[in-house]
Structures are given as C-alpha cells and as structure tokens.
C-alpha cells in the first residue's frame, strides 16, 4: 500500500494549523494512505497544543495512518524543520505543506498522480499554470517568484519550470533523501531545485490553487529571502555534489 508522508513545518501558526490539518486529513487521494508529520519549529504561541488537540480527535479519518508531532525547542528555520521531517518519514512519497492556508490539500491527488503513474519522480505544483489564481500577496513576492524561476532556468537549462519557489514540492522518498540537504531556512526550495537539476532529475509540473496571505496575516517571506534564494541557486551551480 502506497503511503504519502506530509511534512508540515510550523512556526507560530496557531490561527491556521487546526483548520489546515483538517483539510489535509480530509483530502482525497484514492487508495493512498497518509501520514502527517508536523514539526513545531520553536513556536512561541499555542501551535504545538493545537496540533496535540487535533491528534486526539483524528482517529475518524480512515486513510490517516499516523500523526507524528516533533518539537524543536528553539526556532531553527523552515529548511531545518523540513530536514527533521524527512528523517521521520515512513512513506513512499513526500510532499511539503506550509502550515498556513495559502495552498489547498485538495490538490494532493493531482500532485502525486504523475508519480503513481510512473511518469515522474518529482512534481512541483505551479501557481503560474492556473490562470485563475490571484498570483501574489504583494508586488515583490510576485516579481521575486518570477525572477527566481527565470534564474533557475537560466542557470540550469534542463529545468523548464514555471514556479521555482512553490511550496508544493513532491518527491519519491528515495529521491529527496539522496540530496544531502544542508538548508536551514528558506533556502530549502532553491537548494532542492539546484540539486535535482544537477542530477538531471526531471521536475514535472501540475497547476495548483493559491490563496496568498499578507504580511499582516502572518506571511513570513521577506524580500531578503529572494536574494538568499538567488545566491543558493548560483552557489550550487558551481559546487560539486
């Protein structure tokens, strides 16, 4: 039986985490089973307690095999939290899920289907391919996303992707575990993209829904993270894997 491991890094997301977990648990993915791995990355609010509350009532979801909650005692960064999650996965496929509500778990099945059908080993959910999306939560986020996709394709001509910084990245577990990730914060996305490109692993894209939130609503990405991402793409172009 195929199992999907859903890695959710969370930092101060008490307002959305329970709703998000419900949407994840309810998302239909056919006969595939789910495990949820939440990494509370040193939250200073009640995120951890909210996840515990959800776990206590989650037995009603038949395709949910397990909920694993891991707590970092201090904030180590999104990339570090994802790496912690990867270490604890038991599934055949891994997907990254942000703890806010910008991305819709109802897209899971279309994201994993190319892998289930043997067409791909890695799938990115592209916000750009779904034209009805509101494309950004701010001008700099929109331009930054386009810029990073352009830089990635320029540095790694075999990529041909439209949305490099998308949250929804899906992998056969053996693929992501082979990448020897070093990321600590938001450089997870460009590091993964660069290393996949250097290994000549094709990235298959599917359209996804997107519901951007503002800085006031808790969005944590800032303009400086775009520069860090661009540097990461450039750095790994010249580092031997």
* Rounded Cα distance, 152 and 193, in Å: 8
Q: What is the pTM of this model?
A: 0.93
* Strand 93-96 with 3-10, pairing: parallel
Side-chain-facing half-sphere of 160: CA atoms under 13 Å: 8
* pLDDT for position 142: 75
Mean pLDDT to the nearest integer, 185-204: 97
Q: Which residue has the tokens 């992501």?
A: 176
**Confidence at residue 111, expressed as pLDDT on a 0 to 100 scale:** 98
Q: Tell me if 123 sits within 8 A of 196, measured CB to CB.
A: no
The pLDDT-based confidence of 13 (bands split at 50, 70, 90) is very high
Please state, in angstroms and rounded to a whole number, the distance separating the CA atoms of residues 209 and 103: 6
Least confident of 56-65, 87-96, 123-132: 56-65
As a whole number, mean pLDDT of residues 92-120 equals 97
Picking from 91-95, 130-134, 212-216, which range would have the lowest pLDDT averaged per residue? Answer: 212-216
- Between CA 37 and CA 93 the distance in angstroms is 13
The DSSP letter of residue 121 is S
**Across all residues in the chain, what is the average pLDDT?**
92
- Taking alpha carbons only, the member of 41, 235, 38, 78 closest to residue 165 is 78
CB-side exposure of 8: number of CA atoms within 13 Å?
Answer: 31
Residue 224 reports pLDDT greater than 90? no
Going by the DSSP 8-state scheme, the letter that residue 8 receives in this structure is E
pLDDT reading at 136 higher than 80: no
Locate tokens 């599917």: which residue? 206
Q: Is the pLDDT of residue 48 over 90?
A: yes
> What are the start-end ranges of the E strands in the chain?
3-10, 33-41, 64-72, 93-96, 122-126, 169-172, 203-207
Residue 220: its pLDDT value, please? 52
Phi, psi of 8 (to 5 degrees): -120, 100
In the chain, domain spans: 3-135+165-181+199-216
Q: 45-49, 119-123, 170-174, 183-187: which has the minimum mean pLDDT?
A: 183-187
3.40.50.720, 3.90.550.10, 3.40.640.10, 3.30.379.10: which CATH number matches 3-135+165-181+199-216?
3.90.550.10
Residue 218 confidence (pLDDT): 47
């Amino acid at each position: 039986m195929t199992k999907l491991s859903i890695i959710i890094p969370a930092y101060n997301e008490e307002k959305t985490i329970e709703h998000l977990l419900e949407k994840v648990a309810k998302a239909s993915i056919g006969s595939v089973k789910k495990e949820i791995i939440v990494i509370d990355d040193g939250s200073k609010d009640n995120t951890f307690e909210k996840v515990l509350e959800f776990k206590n009532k989650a037995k009603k979801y038949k395709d949910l095999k397990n909920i694993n909650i891991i707590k970092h005692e201090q904030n180590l960064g999104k990339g570090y939290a994802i790496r912690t999650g990867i270490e604890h996965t038991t599934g055949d496929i891994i997907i990254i899920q942000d703890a806010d509500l910008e991305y819709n778990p109802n897209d899971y099945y279309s994201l994993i289907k190319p892998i289930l059908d043997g067409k791909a080993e890695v799938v990115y959910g592209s916000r750009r391919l779904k034209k009805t999306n509101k494309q950004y939560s701010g001008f700099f986020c929109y331009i930054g996303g386009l810029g990073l996709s352009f830089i990635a394709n320029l540095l790694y001509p075999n990529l041909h992707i439209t949305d490099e910084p998308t949250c929804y990245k899906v992998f056969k577990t053996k693929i992501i575990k082979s990448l020897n990730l070093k990321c600590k914060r938001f450089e997870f996305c460009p590091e993964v993209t660069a290393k996949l490109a250097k290994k000549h692993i094709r990235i298959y894209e599917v359209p996804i829904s997107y519901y951007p939130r503002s800085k006031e609503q808790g969005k944590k990405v800032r303009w400086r993270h775009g520069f860090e991402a661009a540097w990461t793409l450039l750095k790994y172009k010249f580092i031997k894997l």
